[in-house]
Amino acid sequence: MQEKGDSPPRPSSLACLACRRRHVKCDALMPACTRCRTNDTECQYVRSKRGLRKNTRNTSPQLIDENVFSTVPDTFPDWLDDAAFSTDRTLDAKSFFQPLDDSTIQELPIPEDTLVALQEPELVTPEVAYDPMIQLYYQNFHLSHPVVIPRKALNSPLCYLIPPALLSIMRYIGAHYYSNPSLRQEFRREAFDSLSDPTMQDGFKVQALLLLAVIDHSNGDEKSSHRLVQTASTLALEIGLNNSCFARENSYGHSAMEESWRRTYWELYVVDGLLAAFREQSSFRLYRQPTDIQLPCAEKLYNYDSVIPTGQTLDDLQNNWTLGESFSTFAYRISAVQNLGAVLELNRSLDCNLESQIETVDAHLASSLMSLPPLHGDGHDSSSHDEMIFQAQMILYLALIYLHHPRSSMRFASFNANPPTSCTRIKPIEGSGSELTRTQSLDLHSHKLIRAADSLSGLATLPSAIHHRTPFFTCALAMCMIVHTAALLIVGDSGREEGVKARIQLSIGSLKTLGKIWPLSQNVRLQMVDMYKAVVRK
């Protein structure tokens, strides 16, 4: 009998595989635990690999350190109540808590080179797929930025390759989608501290820097976001991430990991281009960077851990996509950013005779939009959309706005505007003496500018949940607000004026919804509302 003052007996750190998969306590009796004997099920234990740093060739690839499961709680923390999985977050708890498939773990062996990584004291286990914040990450953010290995791959030995530092960042991102916003601050310190982890490989560090750059931008920290993406780009080029051999040589023989490395570079390419556009004065560093990396495969193949390399390169995308060749939706997203880069270079040009180049780029943007695959995929479910095609459309409409705004007479629209945000440097001229009037006709660039803004804001009307979309949609909506607010000053008939106001209200409502997750959306919405009120009072 335990005497007063004695500490209670500690539960055994050893547990059989059956109990671990069901997240229940195990008394670790040999040769079979009580629960397995009661249920008449097979009881298996795994041997420890602690101290194994030599003779790894004679080690069975199925061995798993018995101590890696000791940190997995039997139940989820108290703060993770049912609110995290409420219907307003459109989270499917049933899909989260699927039992592990024994065959999945057995079918994918751990490569010999991976055994060295398994000997570290802190290990990642398949149970990480059931971590609440990791679940929120995959359910919400991964759809828009599919860089790290798919969640399905976490149910295999491939999970051992993921460093704990990267998981800390994924948890921090997932916390943004939890109903209690204060929770994200608890994960933020650990996420940024993880960047100094000396054991994290350079490839994973690029992923970590990239993810944090997206999040810091979405939290309104422009300087940190710019610094992080530049650091990630520098490191990526130093380690040769832009060369096809990197993905092959650092995949440990796993097609999903090889695809993840390819996607890491292309995602960095996309984020670098978007942040360059939002900042305007900064260059698109990776735009002219040579690369022979294959384009990403289809999203369904990747997310189901059934990667089939495309064998297609950026040159194929540039030369053959108008000839009917099929590409993944991620590839069309890359092409859209490449078009955006062409616009940014054109806008920085000091050449006075650019009309022919402007017409060429404008025609290419229009043809790119018409050549995109359907937004709703196969069309069987109109309530969902392909996020990669959504972003491709968003980026192409942004490119049209950036192309026509500097050349439109609407840029002289005068109204009181707040200082530019990290979303845009575009600011209407105040007190210029060249204000447009409601009787003045719009030039061709202004018509194209308004039409692009109309189409871009229309993406907010899709029936799928808006919080599943990329946080960069905040800046797209801010661009729409600027264009539509300027248009409100000069539209002549009341019918068009009401239509413009409806577009503005749509953008404001969308920013309000996104503001529940991303602080930048809150700030942008307040600034845009003030700008709109200033125009209405005129």
pLDDT digits (tens, 9 = 90+) for 317-355: 877 765 567 899 999 999 999 999 999 999 888 887 888
Q: What is the pLDDT of residue 79?
A: 31
pLDDT tens sequence across 126-142: 578 888 999 999 999 99
Cα 427 to Cα 478: distance, rounded to the nearest angstrom: 11
Confirm whether 283 is domain-assigned: no
Burial of 116 (0-12, 13-18, 19+ CB in 10 A): exposed
For 240, counting Cβ atoms within 10 Å of its Cβ (0-12 exposed, 13-18 middle, 19+ buried), the class is: middle
Residue 30 domain flag? no
Task: Quickly state the pLDDT bin for 414 (edges 50, 70, 90).
Answer: low
At 495 the pLDDT is: 65
- Residue-wise pLDDT tens digits, 56-111: 333 333 333 333 333 333 333 333 333 333 333 333 333 333 333 333 333 334 44
Q: What is the CATH number of the domain that holds 513?
A: 1.20.1440
Task: In whole angstroms, give the CA distance from residue 266 to residue 260.
Answer: 10
Count of Cβ atoms closer than 10 Å to residue 132 Cβ: 18
Q: Could you tell me which of 4, 13, 118 has the C-alpha nearest to residue 71?
A: 13
Chain segment 354-381, per-residue pLDDT in tens: 889 999 999 999 999 998 998 876 555 5
Q: Residue 412: inside a domain, yes or no?
A: yes
| 32 Cβ contact partners less than 8 Å away, ≥ 6 residues apart | 16, 43
Domain contains 497: yes
The answer as to whether 202 is a domain residue is no
Does the residue 302 lie in any domain? no
By the 8 A CB rule, do 409 and 436 touch? Answer: yes
Looking at residue 429, its pLDDT comes to: 46
467 is a domain residue = yes
Q: For 189-214, what is the mean pLDDT?
A: 92
pTM (2 d.p.): 0.76
Residue 258 to residues 155, 202, 454: CA-CA distances in angstroms? 17, 15, 39
State the Cα–Cα distance between residues 259 and 282, nearest whole angstrom. Answer: 29
Q: Is the pLDDT of residue 242 over 70?
A: yes
Q: Please state the domain count of the chain.
A: 1
Domain extent at residue 481:
408-426+440-537
Query: Is residue 492 predicted with pLDDT exceeding 80?
Result: no
pLDDT band at 382 (very low <50, low <70, confident <90, very high): low
pLDDT(113) > 50: no
Tens-place pLDDT, residues 296-316: 999 999 988 888 888 888 888
The 10s digit of each residue's pLDDT in 255-302 is 999 999 999 999 999 999 999 999 875 689 999 999 999 999 999 999
H or E segment and range at residue 369: helix 355-371
Predicted confidence at residue 283, as pLDDT, reads 82
Is 208 part of any domain?
Answer: no
